[in-house]
Amino acid sequence: MDAVWAKTTADWPAKLPSGVKFSDDAPLFFHPADGKANLFHEALPNLIAARYWRCAWIDEALRGNPAAWVELEQYESLPDVGTFVDQTAYDADFAAFAERSGSDPLSAEFAVDCGVFTDGSKEGNR
């Protein structure tokens, strides 16, 4: 999976914020330490890379970088996102969740859906 990940990120069609880069090896998502035979759908490297990319730009947006909002508009055009992510439903989900939790949608998303960006360096995967 590390080779697949390396190719995925080398060919990634959208830039990351300054000072942020994809990991060299595939994230923990692709390294389950369960000893089982694992069969990853071929879209998952793109989808996990897209999640990392999105979270990197959300982080920028929450830090007040106005350019981040422009970048985030590209999300749905990233590889496989249009096929496997229902962004309209996702946005509605997070609007509802943010309202219930007294937050704003972007902060709520970053808090609960950006572990691949914020926790990616942690070991101890299960």
Partner 1 sequence: MKSHTRRRHSLATVVVAAAFAIALAVTPALPASANQISTGGTAAHGEVKYWPTARTNTYQYNTVRARLTYVTPGASLSLWVALRNSAGTTYARGNTAGAWATIVNDNGNYWNPPGTFYLNTQLVGSCVGAGCAWLAFEFDFAWNVPAPV
Binding site for partner 1 (CB under 8 A): 1-2, 4, 19-21, 23-45, 47-48, 51-52, 56, 80, 84-85, 90, 93-94, 96-97, 100-101, 112-123, 125-126
How many residues belong to the chain?
A: 126
User: What minimum distance in Å lies between the beta carbon of 67 and partner 1?
Assistant: 18
User: What minimum distance in Å lies between the beta carbon of 13 and partner 1?
Assistant: 19
Question: Alpha-carbon distance 57 to 55, whole Å?
Answer: 5
Count other Cβ atoms within 10 Å, centred on residue 8. Answer: 20
Asked if residue 86 lies in contact with residue 76, where contact means CB atoms within 8 angstroms, the answer is no
User: What minimum distance in Å lies between the beta carbon of 49 and partner 1?
Assistant: 10
- Rounded to a whole number of angstroms, the CA Rg of the chain reads 15
